[in-house]
Structures are given as C-alpha cells and as structure tokens.
Structure 1
Amino acid sequence: MANLEVERTIQEELSFPILLGDRIMRAAQEAESLRMRPDCAELAKQVEHLSAMLRSVVKLASATPSLYEPPVRRIVAEVSKNLERALTLVRKCKKHSGVLRQVFSITSTADFRKVSNLLESSIGDMKWLLSILNSDGGIDLTLPPIASNDPILAWVWSCIATIQMGQLKDRAEAANELGSIAKDNERNKIIIMEESGILPLLKLLKESASPDAQLAAANVLINIAADQERVVDFIVTSLGVPIVVQVLGDSPMRVQVAVANLVSKMAEQGPIAQEEFVRANVTRPLISLLSMDTVLSDPMLQAGRASIHSLVVNLSSSGKSSFSANSDHGSSRGSGHYRKEREVESSEMKKNIKISCAEALWKLSRGSLSTSKKITETKGLLCLAKMIETETDELQLNCLMAVMEIAAVAESNADFRRVAFKPTAPAAKAVLDQLLRVIQQENNPALRIPAIKSIGSVARNFPGKVPQIIGPLVAQLGNRDVDVAIEAAIALGKFVCPDNYNFAYHSNTIMEFNGVPGLMRLLRVNDRAKKHGLVLLCYLAINVGNNKVLEQEHALSTLEGLARPVIAQHPELKDLFAKAIHNLTLYQTGAQLHRPPFVS
C-alpha cells in the first residue's frame, strides 16, 4: 500500500510546540547550575509568553471555521524548531552524574543569548500572526521576523487573511492590494497560488452583496491568471469555472466586463480551461451580452434579401437557436437581477462589455471544436456577423478574430465545416457577406487579414465557380500592405490546391480575374511573400498550365529562377516545384522538354 501522508489539523500542529513549552519550563525549574539558573529563568519567561500566544491561536482556530492556515503552519513550524533548541540548551543545566555532568554542563552565556534571540523572533512572529488573525481593520503591513528576507510573503499572507476572514469592505481593499502585488512579477503570482489565495478570491467573487468586492476579486484573478498556466489549471481544479460563469451571467455590468476579461485570460492558457468553460456553458451569457440591444423581433425581410436582424429572428423562431429574442442577458439561471440597472447603463459601458465578450469568444474558440460548435449551434455566428456589420474598431476586430478562429477549427474538421459554413445556411451566408464586405471596403489591414484568413479556411466548402469570392481575394494580391497580399495568396492557394475538389474551377476564375500579374509582383517583395506566392503559382501552373497568361508573364523562367533558394529553406516544396515546371514545359512554345533539372 502507498504511504499517504495526511496533513495534520491546526490543533495537532499547535499541540507539539505547546508541549515543548511545558517541558522547557519544567527543565528550567530543575536547573542545577547556579551560574546558568538566571539564564534558564529568562528563557522560561520567553517560552511562557510563546505558550500563551500559541494557546490563543488554538482558541481562534476552534472558534474560526474559515481560519487562514498557511501562515499559522509556517510560523508554528519555525516556533517548534526554536523551542526544540531551547529545550536542548536548558536540559544541559539539569543534574547529571560523572562524565555526562561534565559534558552537559558546558554551556555559556553566548549559547543562551543565541537561543534567546531565536525565541524573541518567534515572539515577534506570533504577535504578527495574532494581529492578522484578530484584525478588524484590514491589511497589516508590518513585517514579521520570519519574512524579513522575503517581505512579499508577509504582505501576501496579510492580504489573503483579510480576504478570507475580514469585513467585506476590507476584503475588497485587500484584493486590490493583492492585485498590485501580482502585477509586479511572475513569482508573486505563484506565491499567491501556493499560499492558498485562489479559493478566498473565488469566494469573494461570488459575493453578490458587494459589486466592489466582486470587481476587486475578478481583477486580481485576471492579474494572477495572465500567462500562468499553473494558476489557471489550479482555478479549474478548484471548481472555479462554474463560479466565474455564474457571476458573468448575473452581476452588474462593470463586474461582467472584468469577469469576461478573466474568461479570456484563462482561455488563452489552453484546452483545459477552454473545455471546462464549454461544460459550464459560458457561451450562453457571452453571446447574450454580445447581442444586447440588438433588435431581434422585426419579422420583415428587406426587399430581395434577408437582413441579419431578420435572419436571427427566423433562426430563433424556427427553434434552431437556444436563445429567445427576449432572453435575459444573464446566466442559465435567468434571474435577471440586474436587468433594470443594465437598461440605464452608459453606451460606453455597454460597448465595453461587448468588446470583452467578443474577445472571450475569440480566445475560447482558438483550436477548440467544442466551443466552436457551441457558438455555431446557437445564434452566435449571426451575432458575430451583426457586430462585424454595424460596429467598428476593437469590437469589430474581436468579432472578426472569433470568426477566424472558428473557421480555422472548421478547416481541420470536415464534418463541422460542412455544417457550420454551409454556403446556403443563413448564419454562414451572413458571415460570408460581412467577410467579403470587410475585404472590399475596409482599409485597415488588421481587419482585412482575419477576414481573408476566414474565407481561406473554408475554401473547400464552395461548390463550382464562385467569382464573387475569388474576385475580391485576387484584388488583394496587389494590396500595398504586404501582409494583406500574402494572406490573399495563402487563401487563394487553398482554393486551388489538390485537396480542394473544385480546384479547376477556382484556378480558371483566378485567371479570368487577371490574378497572375499581381501574383508576379508579389514574388519580388520578400521571402515570405515569395514562398506563398510561388506555392500559388505552382498550383496554377499544374491546374491551368496551358493558359497563355502564364507564358506571357514568364511563369516558367520565374519558377526555375526562384526554385533553388526557396527549396533550400522549404525542402517539402521540391516535388511541387518539379511538377509545376514540368507541366509548364509541356505547354509553352519553345520550351525545352529535356532541360537539365532545376535542383540536384
């Protein structure tokens, strides 16, 4: 059987030093040496003081179910070590016979002074400990001797003790102080976790009686969770995710903004947090808040084309959405406790919550099939399309990034792609319309790039000829922003690669939109542009090598001239280059069929 060590209770921890204290005082009374007796008596006074404080902690522990234990255990362990040294010293002064008497009587005033100093430090530690356990006034910023070499430890202890045991107003202040400590460096975040700070913060986050306390707790959890996978995993294993989702669903909006930001920070750390949030159905309050103040009840259709508003209504009324037009912007509990307060919130605050919720959906969707399914199976995709259509700046960008991540998941999962991005489905059509609009009308590369990437990710979903999609992408090959042009080349490459069933249709469409001249110019920009541009050129050479434009633009000589340096960096492209060059030599007038190989 495995030897499982069970942590002792606080009462058991305290019983040992109290017992040591009793032994020391008895040994001091039995001291034989007249020379050492005054020193023993002085040590006994210090020990008596320590014992009284230890018994006070025992009473507090018995009367306080929520006692904050880490500093108690650490300080009591140090006190026990010092008391053991004191007992060893005092016993040397007891009566012995023969040789033992001579050995054990070798003590000096210096020995007593050294142990006395240790006991004095323990007395200082115990005074500090009692001050934070008994405190009614919030954080104690004094420094106990045990933390003299690491002051952060004492401040963390004091803050967490106040959060766990203090008055509500003091708990909020302590959480703000802990947040400041967490901002200083990564080590402090780990200390807060290791000193049991997460559970008191989660408990404070649930404190619906004080939005200030909730906000403070959320902000410190954001600071701790940032770039710390260990901390996020600990929050998850501490069953913190359901608490976060509950507070997100039913809290004042300023708290919801912070909690949505916490969801983003946690989701950034990977699949463990993402999956736990999906289980807790975090997408429900996020999408509900994102669609706040969006009119969902207009049944009218625009002439010849359904608006995104009406598409949402139709989807909801047909029973395909788990959200109703009149759903409360809250959790699955649907309490709506703060509904009236939300109605009078400023437009700036409403914009902030939408920004935070859109970012949370973006981070939750990254690489997560389960999250992406949750969003697309509800009205989430339509809401994202609506925000892309009507909003600007950060909110529009976050929604585009969310769509981009969902599309990237769809690219690697054919079943999900066919369902979520079926071109004739209302939600998919609404999103596609907005992506094309952004590509054609927005001048900001930060917006164009995720829109282009999204369309490239679902390239295999489009049947036959789709000039309305290929045309805008081809136009971006000549974009002055190199990154936009490169992403256009990458996206077009996904339309014409062998994995795409309709590669021939798409290749011909690119030629019809005169895409080759812009592509040839892109090859002269930089190495990254050259690589992705050449891949697209190779696909075109293989698919439509007999097209005269390729000969007019000197595609063959270009591929031959650029093959060696590109293949040296990307050897996986060697066969693609060889196939493209061979195909062009078959079709182009005057090309030598048996020219020497372009690479050894």
Structure 2
Amino acid sequence: MDQLIILQSNHHQQQQPPIKVILSNLLLLTDRICHTAVDESKFYKLECAYVGKQVHRLTRMLRFFSHFVDSTSLYERPVRGIFTNVGINLNHALTLVHKCRHRGIILRLISIAGVLDFRKVFNLLDVSMDNMKWLLSVYASANQGIILTLPPIASNDTSLALVWSCIASLHTHSLNLKIEAALELSTLARDSDRNKDMIVIEGGVAPLLKLLKHELSPETQIAGAMALFNLANDRNRVRSIFNEHGVPVLAQALRNSYILVQIEVAKLIARMAEHNGVCQEAFARKNVIETLVRLLSTEGKINKLLRSNSANKIALSSSIWPRHKKEGKLLEVSRLIVEFNTNCCRALWMLARDNVANCRKITETTKGLLCFAKLIENEKGELRINCLMTVMEITSAAENNPDIRKSAFKNNSPAAKAITDQLLRLIDESDNAVIKIVAIRAIGHLARTFPARQTRVISPLAKQLCDMDPDVATESVIALGKFTCPENYLRAEHAKSIVEFEGVQRALNMLRRGMMRRLSIMLWFFYVILQCML
C-alpha cells in the first residue's frame, strides 16, 4: 500500500491538502497517543509507556521538520509519501493503546491486545522514525551533498530514494550541488526507461528546467539540459516537459546563452521535436526556427567572439563534458563551431520533418536556404548530412505545396540555384551512398520546378542508373519518374532529355543485371516514358 501511495499521479497529489495541514494533523495524533499511552493505560503499562517514548521521539522529528516547511521551497513528493506512512503507523499505535485503557473484563476480552501486537507496533514506529531521519537528513544537509542512504519506505526500490534526494537538492541546495544532482539524474535516466519515468513522475522536470534560467551559470544550464535530453526520448515524457512550460524556457536559453549551452539546448530541442509533433509547432511559435537559422549564419561572429574575448570562453570540467580532456583545456574553436552547427542543423531537421508550416518558415527566413547551401558545400560528415536532411524535408514539402514551390524555388532565386547546384554536385561527386540518395530524393521532389531547358538536372540522375549500389540506382529511377509523371506539365520535354542522356537504355541494363529491387517502379518508369514519347 505504501508503494501505491508513493507512486500516485501528480493529478491526485494536487488534490491533497497542504503539507502544513498534514503535519498539524500528525502532531495532534501524536499528542493523543502520548496522552492515552501514559495517562490512561490500565494494563500493559510498560509496553504502552514504550509506545509513548517512541511517539514522543517521532513528535520531536515532526516538529523539527516544520522549520523546513516554513522556510524553504519544499519538494513535496517524498514528504507526502513518508507522512502518509507515519500517519498509518500512528493510527495502528493509537488503536492498540486504546485497547489497554478498558477496565471491564468483558471489554478486555472483546478488545484483547497481546505482546505480539505491541512488537508489531514497535517495529512500525521504528520504521516511521527511520523514514523521518532520512527526510531530515535530506533537508538538513544543504551543503553536504546528495544523501545516498536508503529509507525503509523505498527499501524495495533503491533508485527511488536517490531520485528523491537529487530532486530535493535541485530545490534547496547551492548551485554546485544542484549541478551534481542534475548530473546524477542524467546518469540515472541513461540507465533505463523505468528511471526516466520515475524522475518525471516524482516531479524532476520542473526543477531541471529552472536550472536553464541561470544565465550567469553556464555549467548549471548545461547540466539541466543534459538531464532533460536523457529524459526526452519518449512522446509522453516530452509532453511532460512541454506541460511544465519547457518550450519558452528552451527558446530563451537558445537565444541568450553561451555557445556551449546553446549546443545542449539545440540537442534537446531536436529530440523533443523528433518525438512530439506538438513541440514542433510550439517551438515555431516561439521563433526558434528563426533563431536557429540566425545562429547558423553567424559563424564568423562566433569565431571572432571566441578568439577575441577570453572571458567568453568557458573552461569545462570533466564532469560536464567527459568526452574531452580532463585537463580542462578549451576545445579547438573550429571543432566547437562544427558541433554547434551540427546540432542546430539537426534541430531544424527535426522541426521541419513532416511539417509543411515549419518548412515554409525556414524558407521565409532571410538566409535559410543560402546558409544550407554554404554548409553543404564546405562541411562534411554529420553536419552535411543534417543539412541535406533538412533540405530534403523542405523540398518534400515544396513538392506537395505550390506556394512553397513558387516562393522558395523560383527559377531566378539565388537560394534555389545554390541549393540545386550543391545537390547536383553531390550526386555527381559523392562516394557516400546515403548522401547520394538524399540528394537524389531532394532533386526528385523539385522536379516540377525545373524548366525544360534545364537539362543539367537530368544528366546526373541518368548517370546514377549505372551506379553499382541498387538503392542509388532505384532512387534515380524514382526521381526521373517524377520528371515525366502526369502532374508535371513539362513531362514530354523531360522525357526527351532522359532518352537523349541514355536514361532508358541504362534502366534496361539495370533490369538485365537484376539490380532493380522494386520491379513495379521500373515498369511504371518505362510506361510514363512511352506515354510521353507518343
């Protein structure tokens, strides 16, 4: 029963009376027990007296705890669980000592009490005192670190006591101990999904978000963001962060914090957008998309800032960034900027994924597409892939949305030309099959935006039909098919270009070599080419 009380939902917790009221009721109950046990007991007087002593010690603990209720921002979850346990055990004690005050022999027989009953009550009161000792140690040791002892109420779940202690530290302790507590919660969250759920249920999200508001303490912000990132790999847990007004907090931290904080916040934004579509729209309303694009397009300013002002360089301890050298040396500026851009691009990718409105917002920013074109041209690895995936999401939205096609991918648009040039270059030059496939898909999405005279788009796609990777070749067939599909009013002209660049012959060769994994696509491709040529 105690475990059910501990794990009750936040909704039920909000309906409970204030802690002060519960504490007052417990103190009234202890007074009744002491009075009954000492003054009114008629038999088992020694046992009743011992109950009175135990309850008296418990009373002192409860009165001492009242100072924390009045003077601190109290973390209520463990307090409510332990107070409920104390109340149940005190009621057992009161019932037993009541039985010992009857004078008549008949009443004694009806409400008989024995030594075993007293032993049980002694044990229950000992448990309550041990729980109270643990609770007092958590709040009385504000400068002594996280309490690692285990209260009896959490004896079946060692993680619960640690979660309680860490969250209590986030509420009441110094900044250094708050960082330690956030990192401990981050480690617990990495261990299992059960721990993640426990941290959320026990109210860990709100104090972690509060850490992100400490703009003068970057390490505090980083620790909070890392812990929340480890929690946010599930739709429901992301919704819990959203419900605690996490979106405006993250938007503010992204705009105003140091670059190292921005990296962790961008990771968290990407993960939240990935797992919950509601967050995609909420971040867009808070202008996060515009902020991310602006941050991506100010690389030179960041570089200058890091090099010119040593006060803006944050030396990180190994506890925060364990993957870097323990000597605490600063990261190389270029490496830091790459990591920063990589995570900003991933955040934009997740915000744009399957979201036409957000894709439109990206194209409407001043330097959005031009910035992606530049990064695709100059960068490699994960950063380039994240940029390409974002561009692919935007072109996918444009394929089905005439407004985006007309506004963002006009033939005379410098941004559209820059993106097209980079996609075609990667199709022609890249040795990475993943990069080729993404670039080919993006060009295919834009098939209805290219004029008939722009045959430079057809040639690289036709060449990929000779690629030995079946997935690359198949993707090229799909892309060429979009140039000749019935929805494309220039399909006849594009079909002639495909034939001119030996696209049909190469597709037949693929079929002979058995490289076409999806025969229906190949047959459909031949059919639309034939229809266009008739």
Q: TM-score, normalised by structure 2?
A: 0.89
Summarize the Cα distance change of 1:339–1:488 in structure 2 as closer, same or farther, 3 Å threshold. Answer: farther
Structure 2: distance between partners of 1:471 and 1:193: 54
Choose from 260, 269, 272 the match for 1:263. 269
Q: Which moved more, 1:122-131 or 1:527-536?
A: 527-536
Structure 2: distance between partners of 1:370 and 1:338: 40
Give 1:114's aligned residue.
Answer: 120
Give 1:346's aligned residue.
Answer: 333
Amino acid at match of 1:543: C
Q: CA deviation at 1:99?
A: 3.4
- Of all paired residues, the percent bearing the same amino acid is 45
Choose from 39, 49, 63 the match for 1:55. 63
Give 1:377's aligned residue.
Answer: 364
**Does the aligned pair in 1 maintain the 2:470–2:516 contact within 8 Å?**
no
Structure 2: distance between partners of 1:18 and 1:209: 43
Unaligned runs of 5+ in 2: 1-11, 315-329
Summarize the Cα distance change of 1:541–1:115 in structure 2 as closer, same or farther, 3 Å threshold. Answer: farther
Q: CA deviation at 1:338?
A: 9.6
Structure 2: distance between partners of 1:128 and 1:20: 21
Q: Secondary structure at the match of 1:468?
A: coil
Summarize the Cα distance change of 1:481–1:537 in structure 2 as closer, same or farther, 3 Å threshold. Answer: same
1:537 aligns to 2:526 (yes or no): yes
Give 2:35's aligned residue.
Answer: 26
Structure 1: distance between partners of 2:13 and 2:148: 38
Q: Deviations over 1:228-268 (max 9, x none)?
A: 11111111121111111211222222221111111111111
**Does the aligned pair in 1 maintain the 2:423–2:440 contact within 8 Å?**
yes
Q: Deviations over 1:6-36 (max 9, x none)?
A: 33211112222222211111221244443x1
Give 1:165's aligned residue.
Answer: 172
> 5 Å matches for 1:315-330?
none
Give 2:191's aligned residue.
Answer: 184
1:252 aligns to 2:261 (yes or no): no
Give 1:583's aligned residue.
Answer: none
Computed over aligned residues only, the root mean square deviation of the Cα atoms, in angstroms, reads 2.5
**Does the aligned pair in 2 maintain the 1:31–1:37 contact within 8 Å?**
no
Amino acid at match of 1:120: D
Structure 1: distance between partners of 2:24 and 2:118: 25
Structure 2: distance between partners of 1:412 and 1:390: 30
Give 1:569's aligned residue.
Answer: none
Q: TM-score, normalised by structure 1?
A: 0.80
Give 2:286's aligned residue.
Answer: 280
Amino acid at match of 2:244: S
Structure 2: distance between partners of 1:168 and 1:43: 42
Q: Secondary structure at the match of 1:424?
A: coil
1:509 aligns to 2:516 (yes or no): no
**Does the aligned pair in 1 maintain the 2:482–2:488 contact within 8 Å?**
yes
Structure 2: distance between partners of 1:199 and 1:293: 33
Structure 1: distance between partners of 2:236 and 2:485: 41
- Structure with higher Rg: it is 1
Summarize the Cα distance change of 1:4–1:345 in structure 2 as closer, same or farther, 3 Å threshold. Answer: closer
Summarize the Cα distance change of 1:116–1:271 in structure 2 as closer, same or farther, 3 Å threshold. Answer: same
Choose from 416, 422, 444 the match for 1:428. 416
Q: CA deviation at 1:339?
A: 9.2
Q: Secondary structure at the match of 1:138?
A: coil
Give 1:291's aligned residue.
Answer: 297
Q: Deviations over 1:315-366 (max 9, x none)?
A: xxxxxxxxxxx9x99xxxxxxx999549996111111101111111111110
Give 1:82's aligned residue.
Answer: 89
Structure 2: distance between partners of 1:338 and 1:132: 39
Give 1:319's aligned residue.
Answer: none
1:389 aligns to 2:377 (yes or no): yes
Q: CA deviation at 1:370?
A: 2.5
Q: Which moved more, 1:527-536 or 1:443-452?
A: 527-536
Summarize the Cα distance change of 1:32–1:389 in structure 2 as closer, same or farther, 3 Å threshold. Answer: closer
**Does the aligned pair in 2 maintain the 1:466–1:506 contact within 8 Å?**
no
Amino acid at match of 2:22: E
Choose from 97, 101, 104 the match for 1:94. 101
Give 2:481's aligned residue.
Answer: 493
**Does the aligned pair in 2 maintain the 1:31–1:40 contact within 8 Å?**
no
Structure 2: distance between partners of 1:250 and 1:525: 56
Q: Secondary structure at the match of 1:467?
A: coil
- How many aligned positions are there? 504
Summarize the Cα distance change of 1:244–1:460 in structure 2 as closer, same or farther, 3 Å threshold. Answer: same
Give 1:591's aligned residue.
Answer: none
Structure 2: distance between partners of 1:338 and 1:133: 39
Give 1:68's aligned residue.
Answer: 75
**Does the aligned pair in 2 maintain the 1:179–1:220 contact within 8 Å?**
yes
Summarize the Cα distance change of 1:486–1:338 in structure 2 as closer, same or farther, 3 Å threshold. Answer: farther
Summarize the Cα distance change of 1:158–1:340 in structure 2 as closer, same or farther, 3 Å threshold. Answer: closer
**Does the aligned pair in 2 maintain the 1:179–1:219 contact within 8 Å?**
yes
Q: CA deviation at 1:532?
A: 2.4
**Does the aligned pair in 2 maintain the 1:30–1:94 contact within 8 Å?**
no
Give 1:449's aligned residue.
Answer: 437
Amino acid at match of 1:14: L
Q: Secondary structure at the match of 1:539?
A: helix
Amino acid at match of 1:400: L
